[in-house]
Amino acid sequence: MTASAIVWDGRGDPPGGFQATYLWRSYEERDGVRSIPRYLESHAERLRQKYLAFIHELGQSRLGGKRIIDHLDTGDGFSYWWMTTLAEKSPFKSPRIYDCLRLFALEEILLDQPPVELVLHSLDADLREAIAKLCDGLEIGFSQDYCGDAKVGLSLRSIYRALPYAVQALLSLRHILPRRVLCTRERPPWHENHRAVFFCSYFIHLDLVRCRQGSFYSRQWGALPNYLQDIGRRTNWIQHFIFSAEVPDIGTGSDWVRKFNLDAEHQGCHAFLDHYLSWQVILKSLRAWLWLNFVSWRLWNIDSVFSPQGSAVWLWPVLRSDWKTSTRGSVSLGNCFWVYLFDAAIAELPHQPLGLYLCENQAWEKAFLNAWRKYGHGEIVGVQHATVPFWHLYYFDDSRSLARCADAGCLLPIPDRLAVNGSVPFRALTESGYPTDRLVEVEALRYQKLGRATPTSHAPVEGRDATEACMTDRAKVNVLIVGDMIPASMQNLLGMAEGASSQLQRGFSFTLKPHPGLAVHLDEFPSLKATQTTQALDQMLPSFDCVLSANSTSASVDAYVAGLPVIVALDGGALNLSPLRGQPGVRFVSSPDQLAQALLDVENAGHPKTDGNDFFHLDTDLPRWKRLLRRDDKPT
């Protein structure tokens, strides 16, 4: 047994004098220093399953003689539990999931090598509370290397977060009520026959030129709507209105939808979900939200069930905000609106024999599925349209949650079938326990262009000496840096790139393509000497030799499928959210030294080619989609 150990949740180097040091937010390891993020990655399958099991068991926990799921029952067999951020399990909406997983990892480490005392260095009061409880359960002494609490500057955001959750919810109405202007008594002339196909989608990623001309084209659905049109099948669309560069205001979106509906035979019938935001929907939503507040206060002792079975970990300190905002705050109010908006919209639809929706297992999807089945529509197919990264937990559930038990009420709403866009996501879902009889493989509609992108070669040119080649070629290795929209992730990525570039000889050129949702200032990284571009990714890839990717961006997949070497920068302060986690040939680095070596390896080893169909199905003739649609193209 070691005498004492420290958990270091801080910047800089931890102090000496401890028998063991556990780094909370770093992948670094050396004698006497262990990385909790590295341990988590090494035991990821088991620890991920432990968290999924905890969420399942939390919903099944009984308080006052009823399951939590049943306490949140709307009265028609649907439970608001499935719309909470706890049940959704998104690391983007619930970033403290990472702390839960690291607490599981820390417990295993302490059980294997229990110290007499554990010292915690952290600014995080919630983390201190959780680790103190863990040590108490393991009968380990606990103390804290007090370093104060995290300082929060005074801002509108900090003031908002300090408000009671119910007040935050009421303030969120400022985002909802202005959308009332989209409500209209005019409804599209819905197609109603056995060959109609219904779509629930996002009004984003649209072709600007075509849509301005009244021709609907969504990059998320690619060629599928045109194929349906060609074979004589009509489409109905309910769209989520989202502000974007293509649609900067409500007027533009409304004008486009009006144009589409003038040619509904060819462009489909379109309506925004917000078309149904009536005063009746608003009053019903507020009433349901008040009821959720009452239920939340009635479950005053819910903190007692936030310990996984057989574990000393207590997750209430880091997850209480998720519970409260999901039952009292802005999330709960938003979920109530989802329920009544979809109820109003789907009730009005004529019978739809087949429905397709973009599936990311978000809260609104549960409300949509409940309304779809409530009003007796036909088969509903969820379309997994992007990637299924390992730590994107919203794609995964405990197998007990997925079981369709006849005697269990308020079941998890899932589609009749889930259409997956390649062999990699298919394996990810089946290995996690998703029912194989509910999966069907289809082509990746939004990635069809990737099969046509091929990387260039910058191999040495025969007949020229090295000096001439260097003068003629732009660089030995042209590196494209692709960003995401998480500021901390981008700081880590560019800081690592700057540190690596100082270790490299001349001959490396860096170009940054930032995420459109996050402005990046390269002048903060002067030593990197990078240029910046906004060119379309599929047009750029053939000009580069390798791609350096931020942790969570899906742009890394574009590069991987196109055959380029991909290097992903990790940050111990966040989960490895890369969609390429576990893929052969992808390098993951966590320091400038590792990145410099990876870039040198690219220079020396050439450019290994990967087959895009190993990741996505990219057949442009859509044979899998055609088989799925032929099965449903019959009278009911």
Instruction: Decide if pLDDT at 99 tops 90.
Output: yes
User: Same domain, yes or no, for 462 and 605?
Assistant: yes
Over residues 256-299, the pLDDT tens digits come to 999 999 999 999 999 999 999 999 999 999 999 999 999 999 99
Does residue 563 sit within a domain?
yes
Does residue 619 sit within a domain?
no
Instruction: Decide if pLDDT at 439 tops 80.
Output: yes
Whether the CB-CB separation of 148 and 123 falls below 8 Å is answered with yes
- Provide the β-strand partners of residue 269: 236
Over residues 111-141, the pLDDT tens digits come to 999 999 999 999 999 999 999 999 999 999 9
Whether the CB-CB separation of 391 and 576 falls below 8 Å is answered with yes
Average pLDDT over residues 20-27: 94
Q: Residue 472 has what pLDDT?
A: 36
Whole-angstrom distance, CA of residue 317 vs CA of residue 127: 7
CA atoms in the 13 A half-sphere facing the CB of 457: 8
Instruction: Decide if pLDDT at 510 tops 80.
Output: yes
Q: Which one is predicted more confidently, 460 or 206?
A: 206
Does residue 379 sit within a domain?
no
Whether the CB-CB separation of 4 and 115 falls below 8 Å is answered with yes
Q: Which amino acid is at 19?
A: Q
Q: DSSP code of 276?
A: G
Q: Residue 185 has what pLDDT?
A: 66
605's enclosing H/E stretch is helix 592-605
Last residue of a domain, one of 333, 362, 385: 333
Q: Residue 609 has what pLDDT?
A: 56
Based on the number of CB atoms within 10 Å of its own CB, is 375 exposed (0-12), middle (13-18) or buried (19 or more)?
A: middle
Whole-angstrom distance, CA of residue 267 vs CA of residue 582: 41
- What number of other Cβ atoms are within 10 A of residue 77's Cβ? 13
Q: DSSP code of 613?
A: G
Which of helix, strand or coil describes residue 512? strand
Average pLDDT over residues 90-97: 94
What separation in angstroms does the CA of 388 have from each of 99, 393, 480? 21, 9, 23
- Residue owning tokens 């509906």: 261
Whole-angstrom distance, CA of residue 599 vs CA of residue 587: 10
Whole-angstrom distance, CA of residue 440 vs CA of residue 463: 53
Q: Which amino acid is at 383?
A: V
Looking at the chain, the whole-number percentage of residues with pLDDT higher than 70 is 92
Whether the CB-CB separation of 87 and 292 falls below 8 Å is answered with no
Instruction: Decide if pLDDT at 634 tops 80.
Output: no
Mean pLDDT of the chain: 88
Handedness of CA 573, 54, 415, 78 (dihedral sign): negative
Whole-angstrom distance, CA of residue 379 vs CA of residue 197: 10
User: Domain range spanning residue 56?
Assistant: 4-154+291-333
Q: Residue 162 has what pLDDT?
A: 86
Last residue of a domain, one of 300, 333, 366: 333
Does residue 382 sit within a domain?
no
Q: Residue 568 has what pLDDT?
A: 94
Based on the number of CB atoms within 10 Å of its own CB, is 173 exposed (0-12), middle (13-18) or buried (19 or more)?
A: middle
Q: How confident is the model at residue 153 (pLDDT cuts 50, 70, 90)?
A: low
Instruction: Decide if pLDDT at 396 tops 80.
Output: yes
Q: DSSP code of 460?
A: P
Average pLDDT over residues 145-169: 78
Q: Residue 539 has what pLDDT?
A: 82
- Helices (runs of H) and strands (runs of E) counted in the chain: 25, 20
Which of helix, strand or coil describes residue 293? helix
Q: Residue 484 has what pLDDT?
A: 87
Does residue 350 sit within a domain?
no
Based on the number of CB atoms within 10 Å of its own CB, is 227 exposed (0-12), middle (13-18) or buried (19 or more)?
A: middle
Whether the CB-CB separation of 359 and 418 falls below 8 Å is answered with yes
Whole-angstrom distance, CA of residue 543 vs CA of residue 433: 41
Maximum Cα interatomic distance, the chain, rounded to a whole number of Å: 83
Domain tally, the chain: 2
Selection from 40, 81, 102 nearest residue 390 by Cα: 40
Q: Residue 406 has what pLDDT?
A: 53
Say which CATH number the domain at 491 has. 3.40.50.2000
Instruction: Decide if pLDDT at 370 tops 90.
Output: yes
Q: Residue 48 has what pLDDT?
A: 97
Whole-angstrom distance, CA of residue 427 vs CA of residue 586: 18
* Angle at alpha carbon of residue 508, lines to 568 and 588, rounded to 5°: 15
Based on the number of CB atoms within 10 Å of its own CB, is 588 exposed (0-12), middle (13-18) or buried (19 or more)?
A: buried
Over residues 306-364, the pLDDT tens digits come to 999 999 999 999 999 999 999 999 999 999 999 999 999 999 999 999 999 999 999 99
Does residue 248 sit within a domain?
no
Whether the CB-CB separation of 194 and 635 falls below 8 Å is answered with yes
Does residue 360 sit within a domain?
no
Task: Please give the backbone phi and psi of residue 160, each rounded to the nearest 5 degrees, phi first.
Answer: -60, -45
Q: Which one is predicted more confidently, 604 or 92?
A: 92
Find the range with the poorest average confidence among 152-166, 409-423, 607-621: 607-621
User: Same domain, yes or no, for 463 and 329?
Assistant: no
Whole-angstrom distance, CA of residue 34 vs CA of residue 320: 29
Selection from 495, 501, 453 nearest residue 479 by Cα: 501
Whether the CB-CB separation of 210 and 366 falls below 8 Å is answered with no
Which of helix, strand or coil describes residue 583? coil
CA atoms in the 13 A half-sphere facing the CB of 246: 20
Whole-angstrom distance, CA of residue 494 vs CA of residue 41: 23
Over residues 448-506, the pLDDT tens digits come to 877 655 444 443 323 333 333 333 345 578 999 998 888 888 999 999 999 998 888 77
Q: Which amino acid is at 526?
A: P
Average pLDDT over residues 517-526: 85
Handedness of CA 193, 196, 199, 204 (dihedral sign): negative
Predicted structure pTM score: 0.91
Q: How confident is the model at residue 2 (pLDDT cuts 50, 70, 90)?
A: low
Does residue 534 sit within a domain?
yes
